[in-house]
Amino acid sequence: MTVDVGHSQSFKTPVSVLIVVYTQDLEVLLLDRADREGFWQSVTGSCEPNETLYETAARELREETGINADDHNLVNWNRSNEFEIFKHWRGRYAPGVTHNVEHAFGLLVPGRVSIKISPREHVQFEWVRIEEAMDRVFSWTNVDALTFLLKHHASLR
């Protein structure tokens, strides 16, 4: 899928990706947001104009964690959720935009790989068991992606 928003703009596109980075033992990488400390999440980000979902996921992985998607197996889980954008973040979107469609990806890594967070976006990271991750993430869409991983882990290898 390519997102084409037409002319150059300063607003975020209401189409995004969520990438669950995980190990074979179901340890999950969580990031603590810089703009809302205590809001733990997987890697996320909005599509840029004319960027495919895969390109967005690979770019966000690199920007937020330093992970190169080409070194691992980045998989589009072909799952998406539409959600209402929190009011405190709506100013980033064009006037009248209230909802976002988020597409879930998974990235299996061989273990706790080296992470280099972007301090502009996150204040810290942790590797946690998937059950703890499900309790800590702030968004229901992130819980949904983690639940999918837990149920389908064996078939996603």
Q: Is residue 93 part of a domain?
A: yes
Q: Is the residue at 137 inside a domain? A: yes
Question: In this predicted structure, what is the pLDDT of residue 18?
Answer: 98
CATH number for the domain that contains residue 141: 3.90.79.10
In a domain, 157, yes or no: no
Tally of structural domains, the chain: 1
Helix (H) or strand (E) holding 152: helix 140-152
Residue 155 lies inside a defined structural domain of this protein: no
Domain housing 40: 13-150
By three-state DSSP, how is residue 88 classified?
helix
Collapsing DSSP to helix, strand or coil, 56 comes out as: helix
**Residues paired with 46 in a beta bridge:** 16
pLDDT at 157: 64
| pLDDT at 1 (0 to 100) | 45
CB 47 within 8 A of CB 53: yes
d(C-alpha 11, C-alpha 136), whole Å: 29
Q: Is residue 17 part of a domain?
A: yes
Q: Residue with structure tokens 């059950």?
A: 131
| Cβ burial, residue 2 (10 Å; 0-12/13-18/19+) | exposed
Low-confidence ranges of the chain (pLDDT < 50): 1-7
Q: Give pLDDT, residue 93.
A: 84
pTM: 0.88
Per the listing, tokens 């273990």 go with 111
Residue 7 domain flag: no
Is residue 20 situated within a structural domain?
yes
**Residue 86, domain member (yes or no):** yes
Q: Please compute Rg for the chain using Cα positions.
A: 15
